[in-house]
Amino acid sequence: MSALRLGVLGIGDIARNLYLPRIREAEARGRIRLTAVSSRSGNAHSWMAEHYPDVPVHADYQGMLDDPSVDMVVNLTPTLAHASTTLQAIRAGKHVFSEKPLAASLEDADEIISAAAEYGVTVSAAPVIALHPELRRALQWVRKGALGKVAMVRARASHPGPAWDPEFATDPAWFYQPGAGPVLDLAVYPLHVLCLMLGPVQRVTAFAGISYPQREVRSGVAKGSVVEVTTPDNVQMVLDFGDARFASIDATWNVISARGPRMEIYGDKGVLNLYSRPEERPYELFLSDPATGVRGWLEYEHLYRGSLMPAVPDTPTDWSFVDGIEHVAECITTGAQPLASAELGRHILDVCLAALSSAEVGRAVEVSTTFPRSENQS
């Protein structure tokens, strides 16, 4: 297939650190190619001139949309700008891969999905972590019944927040305002995995508050400034997937470090712990089978070749968020539905907004949306 030509919108920390370098690396595989970027920031223009001088930079977003060399927009703008810029791209006939969340309201998410169908383009929204080989294997184990019926999951979706990050270069103030916060920024990651594992969420209960009303910025252009926190920075969520299947998620800017599993999945035949630190094994699996007497924690082995064969070394998986863009490019070519479909993105947004609503009204809130299963989820 010919390479899908990308135009990146927004050249902030996420673009510079997580996307642009990996897009250029991925070009050698032939699925995607960077042909343009767009930013109104003069700093972004000078940064691009230094790091990627061969890529045209559009100060006007519409100018990039009018560029016939752009097939898909990679939308890396702040949350509140996602819907308007994505809709503008759709109406220009461009496919879109948007950073999470898909939009800031369900009405905007509905409009995006409707417009994508009208204009015949594909829209996908981060996160895409279920494409990670280790997570994909873990999801297969669960869906194929290795753990039996999953009744309970505990997930951690917290870190210290961008103001604390000593490597964050741009002003992080918007992360702490309404329309942003750790639910929309962080809870989406375990929600992506849980929804693909257990299906749509049916209702949500949550507690939320502001633990630290002021945050001092530790690095970048806003270093030393104080951010006023006006949206909850500490949220605890309980999700009901139906059939007595529950999950809890912490979504905060208050975990400055942590050890232990990122996610713990409990079934009646086994337990699966998922880790996240580079030096840790990706998962631990406990199985209990009364019929055979097998009971205990198992260490996963990639391939056994026997004592007379040379060992195959375990090398770290080379994976990044850009794998999601390559996945969407392949789906556009084959007509398959992306793993991180716009409908899944809308459902995850619905769950996040329901959690914030639950914390305000003090009761469980129903989730109205759902999403179709993709053949890529099997």
Domain CATH number, residue 111: 3.40.50.720
Q: Using one digit for the tens of pLDDT, what is the confidence trace for 116-131?
A: 999 999 999 999 989 9
With a cut of 80, say whether residue 376 has pLDDT above it: no
How is residue 341 annotated by DSSP?
B
Residues 140 and 247 grouped into a single domain: yes
Give the N- to C-terminal CA distance of the chain in Å, as an integer: 24
Query: 35-44, 90-99, 222-231: which has the minimum mean pLDDT?
Result: 35-44
Total domain count, the chain = 2
Residue with tokens 């920075």: 233
Residue 320: what pLDDT?
A: 87
Q: Which whole number is the average pLDDT over 195-200?
A: 96
CATH code, domain carrying 199: 3.30.360.10
Q: Which whole number is the average pLDDT over 258-277?
A: 91
Going by C-alpha positions, the residue among 129, 125, 119 that lies closest to residue 96 is 125
Residue 337 counted as domain residue: no
Helix (H, G, I), strand (E, B) or coil at 44: helix
Kindly give the interhelix angle for 342-361 and 106-119, rounded to the nearest 10 degrees. Answer: 170
Residues 70 and 16 grouped into a single domain: yes
Last residue of a domain, one of 88, 103, 125: 125
Residue 99: what pLDDT?
A: 96
Residues 230 and 355 grouped into a single domain: yes
Residues 274 and 180 grouped into a single domain: yes
Is the Cα torsion angle 55, 61, 64, 70 positive or negative in sign? Answer: positive
Residues 68 and 144 grouped into a single domain: no
Q: Using one digit for the tens of pLDDT, what is the confidence trace for 57-85?
A: 999 999 999 999 999 999 999 999 999 99
Residues 119 and 141 grouped into a single domain: no
Last residue of a domain, one of 83, 102, 125: 125
With a cut of 90, say whether residue 354 has pLDDT above it: yes
Q: Using one digit for the tens of pLDDT, what is the confidence trace for 286-323?
A: 999 888 888 999 877 765 555 554 444 444 446 889 99
Q: Using one digit for the tens of pLDDT, what is the confidence trace for 138-186?
A: 999 999 999 999 999 999 999 999 999 998 988 999 999 999 999 999 9
Better pLDDT: 358 or 280: 358
With a cut of 90, say whether residue 282 has pLDDT above it: no
How far apart (Å, rounded) are the C-alpha atoms in residues 258 and 323?
A: 27
- Say which residues have a Cβ less than 8 Å from residue 39's Cβ, sequence separation at least 6: 9, 10, 11, 45, 48, 57, 59
Residue type, 47: W
Residues 113 and 148 grouped into a single domain: no
Query: 197-206, 281-290, 368-377: which has the minimum mean pLDDT?
Result: 368-377
Percent over 90 (pLDDT), the chain: 81
Q: Which whole number is the average pLDDT over 254-262?
A: 91
How far apart (Å, rounded) are the C-alpha atoms in residues 293 and 114?
A: 53
Kindly report the average pLDDT of the chain as a whole number. Answer: 92
Last residue of a domain, one of 79, 100, 125: 125
Residue 170 counted as domain residue: yes
Residue 144: what pLDDT?
A: 93
Residue type, 311: A
Confidence class for position 1, pLDDT limits 50, 70, 90: low
Going by C-alpha positions, the residue among 244, 79, 256, 280 that lies closest to residue 156 is 256
Which pair of structure tokens corresponds to residue 67? 């560029």
The total of other beta-carbon atoms located within 10 Å of residue 152's CB is 14
Helix, strand, coil tally for the chain in percent (to 5): 35, 20, 40
User: DSSP for 205-268?
Assistant: EEEEE-S-SEEE--SGGGTT-EEEP-S-SEEEEEEE-STT-EEEEEEES--S---S-SEEEEES
State the Rg of the chain over Cα: 21
Which pair of structure tokens corresponds to residue 218? 């530790």
Residues 92 and 164 grouped into a single domain: no
Q: Which whole number is the average pLDDT over 219-245?
A: 97
Residues 106 and 237 grouped into a single domain: no
Domain of residue 82 covers 4-125
Residue 314: what pLDDT?
A: 45
The total of other beta-carbon atoms located within 10 Å of residue 307's CB is 6
Residues 166 and 27 grouped into a single domain: no
Residues 115 and 248 grouped into a single domain: no
